[in-house]
Structure 1
Amino acid sequence: MKKILIIEDDINIAEMERDYLELNGYSVEIVQDGNKGIDMIMGEMYDVIIVDLMLPGKNGFEIIKEVRKKFEIPVIVVSARNEDIDKIRGLNFGADDYMTKPFSPAELAARIKSHISRYERLKGNNFSSEIIAVKGLEINRASHRVTVNGKEVKLTSKEYEILVFLASNPNIVFTKGNIFDSIWGSEFIGDLATVAVHIQKIRKKIEKDPQNPEFIETLWGTGYRFKL
């Protein structure tokens, strides 16, 4: 299980981030003081650090500099400060990403997964990303072919794009809005209900029992996630 440290003095934001990330399969610890955050980083092994800029003790910039002296792990800044100079300073000090509050928890989870994958790829620990294979389902992104237990399944272009999007971000919960914006684009005018319709059609083609899906799970009132 990937381990994440959140250094954030606003406990409500920190707990919201923690709860959502734990829902997506991460182990999460919270600390509200910059000095304590540095102590925890130096004493534990984390896969991602999420840090606010304005903190008691050491501020976010100081934490990033300390981390970069010893570690290459992904560091994501989350801050209410949206001035370009703060973003530039954070990135120049070694942050991998900068998110301005408020933000979507789903976007944070997606960025975390992306940075972990990139870090592991650079460290030489990743598997080929051209093929996604899970429990008899195989998605070949090079050839755009989908097979279930060796039998090819014909998907429309949008069905394919949704399946690849979800399967490329396993165990992350996405709302209908997240999926719609990622596949159709935020400027496209349409009904979010089309996402549910497409998910239904995908399930009929890849699931043994569409009413009890093995791959694409519905979290009522939240959204969908691809299960590993």
Structure 2
Amino acid sequence: MRLLLVEDDDHVAAALSAVLSRHGFEVTHARGGEDALRALLPTESEPFGVILLDLGLPDLDGYEVCGKIRRLTSTPVIMVTARADVRSRIHGLNLGADDYVVKPYDTGELLARIHAVSRRTAPDDASVTPDEALLLGAVRIELPTRQVSVSGEAVQLTRKEFDLLALLAQRPGVVFRREQIISEVWRTSWEGTGRTLEVHVASLRSKLRMPALIETVRGVGYRLVAPA
């Protein structure tokens, strides 16, 4: 996913960009409001999936930038700022921000919020038919009936295997952190559950007979590689 980071502090931007890059994001850094608005002009590049917007910018007021961004695009905006008072939060959300994170923040929480707003607002990369099926090459995932087939042949999955596959398939190419998968599929914390996740991933690869479909992103998590 491409991400636009609007941050005037180069040291903060460099540190955050390094973390985001390790988690599968392609980061574009804008040092001010004007730079951010120029970066959002239509190009042949893939559009941004999320915008992280600091409010303390050197050229334009961050709230003003948010309003202009919202007139240009529906891309999710997360305000990242030291302004912790409720009135600032409400004002930012009323201007069209999708979330509001106060500095200093936990990096894990910021990543979770990025994934959350992108899931809520971005269209799925998988093709969704009227009968609510995800189509990924030869793989068909029937969401209402929880059935999976490959090239028309039914594949029997356990409940958790289906939940894991459906989660990854709704955002092909997006890296899901291990902690995030455990939280959403098993509804628990990471501690002691990591081996369970690895076993389920291995089982899916075997049952679907497509070992390359689910890619391990070392040190981060997993992503589904959409077949051509």
- Do both share a fold (TM > 0.5)? yes
1:90 positional shift = 0.9
Q: Shift of residue 59 of structure 1? A: 3.1
Tell me how many residue pairs correspond in the alignment: 213
1:214 to 212, 215, 218: 212
- Residues 125-151 of structure 1, C-alpha deviations (whole Å, 9 max, x = no match): x85372111121110102111001111
**2-structure distance, mates of 1:200, 1:222:** 17
> Which residue identity lines up with residue 139 of structure 1 in the other structure?
I
Letter in 2 for 1:103: T
CA distance in 2, matches of 1:135, 1:90: 41
User: Retained in 2: the 8 A contact 1:158–1:183?
Assistant: yes
Percentage identity across aligned positions? Answer: 29
Give the counterpart letter for 2:217 in structure 1: L
* 1:62 pairs with one of 31, 48, 64: 64
Structure-1 residue corresponding to 2:168: 166
Identify if the C-alpha distance between structure 1 residues 148 and 112 changes in structure 2 by more than 3 Å, giving closer, same or farther: same
1:82–1:161: structure 2 CA closer, same or farther, 3 Å change rule? farther
Q: Give the counterpart letter for 1:219 in structure 2.
A: V
- Residue 221 (structure 2) pairs with residue 226 (structure 1): no
Q: Is the 8 A contact 1:109 1:172 kept in 2?
A: no
Amino acid of the structure 2 residue aligned with 1:167: A
Q: 1:72 to 1:199 in 2, by over 3 A?
A: closer
Equivalent position SS for 2:79: strand
Pairwise CA distance, 1:81: 4.2
**Alpha-carbon contact 1:7-1:31 (below 8 Å) kept:** yes
| TM-score, with length taken from structure 1 | 0.78
Q: Residue 187 of structure 1: CA displacement?
A: 6.0
* RMSD (Å), alpha carbons: 3.0
Structure 1 segments, 4+ long, off by >6 Å, are: none
> Which residue number in structure 2 is paired with residue 128 of structure 1?
129
Map of 1:181 onto structure 2: 183
Q: What is the CA deviation profile of residues 64-111 of structure 1, one whole-angstrom value per residue up to 9, with x for unaligned ones? A: 122234544432223344443332111101112334432336532453
Q: Distance in 1 between matches of 2:176 and 2:74?
A: 28
Q: Which residue is 1:123 aligned to? A: none
2:176 counterpart SS class: coil
User: Is residue 34 of structure 2 the alignment partner of residue 30 of structure 1?
Assistant: no
One-letter code aligned to 2:117: R
Structure 2 residue runs without a partner (length 5+): none
* 102 and 53 in structure 1: CA distance in 2 versus 1, 3 angstrom threshold: farther
Distance 1:188 1:29 in 2: 31
Can you give the 5+ residue segments of structure 1 that lack an aligned partner in the other structure?
121-125
Residue aligning to 2:107:
103
